[in-house]
């Protein structure tokens, strides 16, 4: 067994528990110690739930001693993005307006992780209300990329990605509205999976874009992502968008054959201005897939160029509606001294929301306003239909689509102050959200500066099993899976 508990994947760690080589309490203390030592520089966490973690680890110790662990997550130290409601734990969404909010209930995914025996280390940093691609828009502090602390970890799930990359958690949950799991996974050199829309319950998720948001895992390898997905997937009667589809044993299916799979390579995803090192790494990964017996062919997704614009009308429109509830009346921040109710709303929202959230609320409200709804929001929804039809046509010929996750590697803090330049980071991840399809990012190389590059797999709806199987086969054949940032 590896001597350092922090080097172990979730699967290796829980196997070690079963063999009696270590305990959940020992692993939890190792992680808490590393968080105390390093998170001041990384900024992955907004809150650390040390006493809760120790109690959960002690309960897991007892189950292993009795020979009755709950499964492959029992005793695994994990982290949660801070927009998943967690009973008794502050859930801020990275915003001043919810700085003091403590939910009285658990999100379904939190309850399912608890039922699986996972140990919650804390809540991770994020762009405010998940609106951002760099985790620079948190109201509390930025998160830094463990590969280079001067660079961003991506966003909006940057805290979760950085925590996994820096060995500050064995695994984590994030959310993906336009790429917010996959883009930080690519920037931080970890695996990130956005499941099919409806595969995982959204109950207890503080919504950004209700038709786009999906909860998924960030992990060190594909096997751990499969284990985490298996724990949280499945129908939930509390969520009307949750779908009654059978849940596979994702981890058990990872060793299946991939020879003969048909993979499409969309020409539109190799965009003008792409970092040459990203294109080289992805092209090399496609060659490796061919060496595994996977057949590749070029496919066309012609409306890709319009997906970004459609998303930045649909998502802000939904955000405008979802964030209307934060008015200082029921919960969260209330600014005193208002003359009347309208003044209280204005003061509270002005003080409680950051610049990026205000920008998107204004954009979304305008798109939904009388006289503009059909010209903007309605037209964007029609483009969304065209994007979906492109993928449907491609999937009549191929089993999976493979492409870069991002057009560039992690950029420096403060480098992309122009909102449009920031939004372009999502150009290659957004189509999977508009269509609801499952998509995964896996590390596929390093840039000349030593920064991670991500390879994106996109699958058919509810076919996460094939997505994970192909990604695991690539991961096993590639030399990148053991690379970790040297953060001490």
The fraction of the chain above a pLDDT of 90, given in percent, is 93
180 is catalytic: yes
pLDDT of amino acid 378:
95
Other residues' Cβ atoms within 10 Å of the Cβ of residue 268? 18
C-beta of residue 23 within 8 angstroms of C-beta of residue 63: no
> In which band, very low, low, confident or very high, does the pLDDT at 206 lie, cut at 50, 70 and 90?
very high
Q: How many domains does the chain have?
A: 1
> Is the pLDDT reported for residue 56 higher than 70?
yes
pLDDT tens track for 149-202: 999 999 999 999 999 999 999 999 999 999 999 999 999 999 999 999 999 999
pTM beyond cutoff 0.75? yes
Q: Which residues contact 68 (CB under 8 A, 6 or more apart)?
A: none
pLDDT tens track for 410-435: 999 999 988 888 888 899 999 999 99
> Is the pLDDT reported for residue 2 higher than 50?
no
pLDDT of amino acid 482:
76
100 is catalytic: no
- Residues 373-397, mean pLDDT to the nearest whole number: 97
Instruction: Check 25, 47, 81, 160 and give the catalytic one.
Output: 81
Instruction: Check 25, 47, 157, 180 and give the catalytic one.
Output: 180
Tokens of 456: 């994106």
pLDDT of amino acid 268:
96
Q: What is the mean pLDDT of the chain?
A: 96
Q: Please tell me whether the peptide bond between 17 and the residue prior to it is cis, using omega within 30 degrees of 0.
A: no
What Å distances lie between residue 312 and 89, 130, 308, 432, 433, CA to CA? 32, 14, 6, 14, 12
pLDDT of amino acid 1:
38
HEC string of the chain?
CCCCHHHCCHHHHHHHHHCCCCCHHHHHHHHHHHHHHHHHHHCCEEEECHHHHHHHHHHHHHHHHCCCCCCCCCCCEEEEECCECECCECCCCCCHHHCCCCCCCCCHHHHHHHHCCCEEEEEECCCHHHCCCCCCCCCCCCCCECCECCECCCCCCHHHHHHHHCCCCCEEEEEECCCCCHHHHHHHCCEEEECCCCCECCCCECCCCCCCCEEEEEECCHHHHHHHHHHHECCCCCCCCCCCCCCCCCCCCCCCCCCCCEEEEEHHHCCCCCCHHHHHHHHHHHHHHHHCCCEEEEECCCCHHHHHHHHHHHHHHHHHHHHHHCCCCCCCCCCCCCCCHHHHHHHHHHHHCCHHHHHHHHHHHHHHCCCCCHHHHHHHHHHHHHHHHHHHHHCCCCCEEEEECCCCCCCECCCCCCHHHHHHHHCCCHHHHHHCCCEEEEEEEECCCCCEEEEEEEECCCCHHHHHHHHHHHHHHCCCCCCCCCCC
pLDDT of amino acid 3:
53
pLDDT tens track for 247-300: 999 999 999 999 999 999 999 999 889 999 999 999 999 999 999 999 999 999
pLDDT tens track for 17-47: 999 999 999 999 999 999 999 999 999 999 9
- Rounded CA-CA distance 488/465 in Å is 36
pLDDT of amino acid 198:
98
pLDDT tens track for 355-377: 999 999 999 999 999 888 999 99
Which residues constitute the domain of residue 461?
A: 1-488
C-beta of residue 459 within 8 angstroms of C-beta of residue 253: no
Residue of 45 and 483 predicted with greater confidence: 45
441 is catalytic: no
CATH at residue 463 = 3.90.1300.10
- Residues 385-409, mean pLDDT to the nearest whole number: 98
Instruction: Check 95, 133, 134, 156 and give the catalytic one.
Output: 156
> Is the pLDDT reported for residue 131 higher than 70?
yes
């Amino acid at each position: 067994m590896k001597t350092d508990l922090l080097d172990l994947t979730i699967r290796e760690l829980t196997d070690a528990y079963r063999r009696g080589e270590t305990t959940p309490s020992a692993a939890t203390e190792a992680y808490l110690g590393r968080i105390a030592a390093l998170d001041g520089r990384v900024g992955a966490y907004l809150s650390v739930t040390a006493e809760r973690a120790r109690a959960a680890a002690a309960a897991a110790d007892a189950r292993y001693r009795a020979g009755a662990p709950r499964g492959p997550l029992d005793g695994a130290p994990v982290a949660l993005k801070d927009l998943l409601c967690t009973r008794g734990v502050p859930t801020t969404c990275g915003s001043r307006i919810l700085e003091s909010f403590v939910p009285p209930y658990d999100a379904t995914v939190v309850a399912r992780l608890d039922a699986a025996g996972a140990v919650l280390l804390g809540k991770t940093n994020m762009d405010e209300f998940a609106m951002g691609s760099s985790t620079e828009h948190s109201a509390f502090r930025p998160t830094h990329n463990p590969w280079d602390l001067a660079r961003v970890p991506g966003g909006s799930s940057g805290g979760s990605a950085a925590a996994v990359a820096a060995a500050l958690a064995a695994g984590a949950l994030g959310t993906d509205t336009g790429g917010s799991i996959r883009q930080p996974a690519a920037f931080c050199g970890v695996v990130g999976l956005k499941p099919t829309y409806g595969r995982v319950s959204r109950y207890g998720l503080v919504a950004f874009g209700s038709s786009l948001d999906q909860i998924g895992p960030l992990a060190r390898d594909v096997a751990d992502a499969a284990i985490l997905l298996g724990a949280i997937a499945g129908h939930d009667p509390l969520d009307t968008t949750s779908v009654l589809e059978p849940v596979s044993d994702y981890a058990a299916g990872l060793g299946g054959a991939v020879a003969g799979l048909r993979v499409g390579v969309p020409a539109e995803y190799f965009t003008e201005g792409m970092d040459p090192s990203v294109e080289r790494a992805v092209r090399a990964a496609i060659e490796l897939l061919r060496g595994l017996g996977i057949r590749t062919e070029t496919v066309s997704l012609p409306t890709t160029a319009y997906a970004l614009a459609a998303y930045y009308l649909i998502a802000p429109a939904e955000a405008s509606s979802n964030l209307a509830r934060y008015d200082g009346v029921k919960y969260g921040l209330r600014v005193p001294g208002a003359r009347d109710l309208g003044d209280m709303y204005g003061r509270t929202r002005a003080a409680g929301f950051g610049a990026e959230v205000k920008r998107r609320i204004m954009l979304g409200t305008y798109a939904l306003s009388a006289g503009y709804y059909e010209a903007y929001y309605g037209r964007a929804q029609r483009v969304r239909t065209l994007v979906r039809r492109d993928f449907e046509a491609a999937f009549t010929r191929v089993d999976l689509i493979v492409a870069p996750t991002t057009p560039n590697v992690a950029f420096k803090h403060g480098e992309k102050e122009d909102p449009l330049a920031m939004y372009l980071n999502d150009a290659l991840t957004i189509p999977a959200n508009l269509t609801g399809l499952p998509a995964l990012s896996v590390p596929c190389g390093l840039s000349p500066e030593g920064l991670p590059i991500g390879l994106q797999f996109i699958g058919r709806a509810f076919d996460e099993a094939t997505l994970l199987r192909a990604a695991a086969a690539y991961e096993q054949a590639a030399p990148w899976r053991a690379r970790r940032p040297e953060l001490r």
